Structure 1
Amino acid sequence: MGHADPSAPRQRIAILGCGGAGKSHLARQLATRLGLPVTHLDDLYYDNDWNPAPVDEFAAAQRDLVAADRWIIDGNYASTLPIRLAHADTVILLDLPAHTCLWGIARRRGRHRITPSFIRYVVRYRRTMRPRVEALIAEHAGHAGYLRFTSHGQVNRFLAAL
């Protein structure tokens, strides 16, 4: 786990991690417990036909979101991650094994598009994306509390402690 005090007040939470790790589930749980509004970036990025939002519109929407005093935003989108990190008071990285994430994806079938390239992304996440995400956290969120969970058990203990 990271270096944040589990009892510290949280008003602006960025949740990151591989697809299938449970970011949206954690966001909903935290929203219920803390009374914060939630935005799932996948819902902001894709339309009903899975067309991605234009990059400038996606970034502008996030700048509007983080201007608020209270929020939870879940999703990676490394290209716009600095926007969220700069304003977050808490960063949570779900750093779960690939098999756990793949199981999470299999369980949500139908709600998200699952392609061979997405499965490769999940399998390679810890080796390729995690170092990039951790570098962005170090660069843009040194002011924020940082929690890194490597199992659903750690996440559940964190939630139980709130």
Structure 2
Amino acid sequence: MRKIIVIGSPGSGKSTFSKRLASRLEIPVYHLDVLFWNPGWVESSREELKRNQYQLITQEKWIIDGNYRSTIDIRINAADTVILLDRSRWLCLFRVLKRRIIYRNKVRSDMGEDCPERVHPTFIKYVWKFPEDKLIPLKETLAKVRDDKNVFVLTSEYEVEQFLESLKGNWNARM
């Protein structure tokens, strides 16, 4: 595991998991929200997002956290490992709302500069509908690459902890 993508619904724990994974494996982590959101919640163009990702994937090892379906093929093709956090919509929604309270008027480390935490009704709807609208196509994509990539689907906190626990010891020596 040297080139890893972490995907899942907003609120599934992608960024927290990616940071913990990066610490265990001593691999740099990159959050797509940092690359996508410019100051003041201004979106990058799709071309700019693609260009930034092409630069990242040339590195020897990395963890890239985020979905951005329009450019996911770039990351999947370059990755050796795909980790999907498939968590319940209720948990994801709870975490999104909790995050809004905790980071009120603050910018998270996994978010673009000068993009303080916010939650719009359209975002709540996106999180709620993620299992039907986004998760099914993601799983279909992963089924196509399962023979060529390490694919892990983690559905509970227990599975997340077990996965991270399995990396204890000198993982880099086993690569």
TM norm. shorter chain > 0.5? yes
Q: Residue 15 of structure 1 corresponds to which residue in structure 2?
A: 6
Aligned partners of 1:99, 1:51: CA distance in 2, in Å? 29
Report the alpha carbon displacement of residue 137 of structure 1 after superposing the two structures with TM.
Answer: 2.5
Quick one: higher RCO (CA 8 Å, sep 6+), 1 or 2?
1
Distance 1:149 1:114, change over 3 A: same
Give the corresponding residue for 2:85: 94
2:61 paired with 1:56: no
Whether the aligned pair in 2 keeps the contact of 1:91 and 1:146 (CA below 8 Å) is yes
Q: Return the alpha-carbon distance in structure 2 between the equivalents of residues 90 and 54 of structure 1.
A: 27
Cα distance in 1 between the residues matched to 2:19 and 2:83: 14
Can you list the C-alpha shifts for 1:71-92, whole angstroms capped at 9, x where unaligned? 0000000000000000111100
Deviation at 1:140, TM superposition (A): 5.2
Q: Which of structures 1 and 2 has the bigger CA Rg? A: 2
1:73-115: per-residue Cα shift (whole Å, max 9, x none)? Answer: 0000000000000011110000100111012112221343311
Q: What secondary structure, in the 3-state scheme, does the structure 1 residue paired with 2:38 have?
A: coil
How far apart, in 2, do the equivalents of 1:101 and 1:29 lie? 19
CA distance in 1, matches of 2:147, 2:53: 20
Aligned to 2:156: 151
SS in 1 for 2:42: coil
* Matched-pair identity in %: 37
Match of 1:104 in 2: 95
**When the two structures are superposed, what TM-score results if normalisation uses the length of structure 1?**
0.89
Shift of the alpha carbon at 1:135? Answer: 2.4
**Matching residue within 67, 72, 86 for 1:81:** 72
Quote the offset at 1:143 in angstroms. 1.3
Show structure 2 runs of 5+ residues with no match: 109-116, 168-175
Structure 1 Cα separation of the partners of residues 14 and 40 of structure 2 = 22
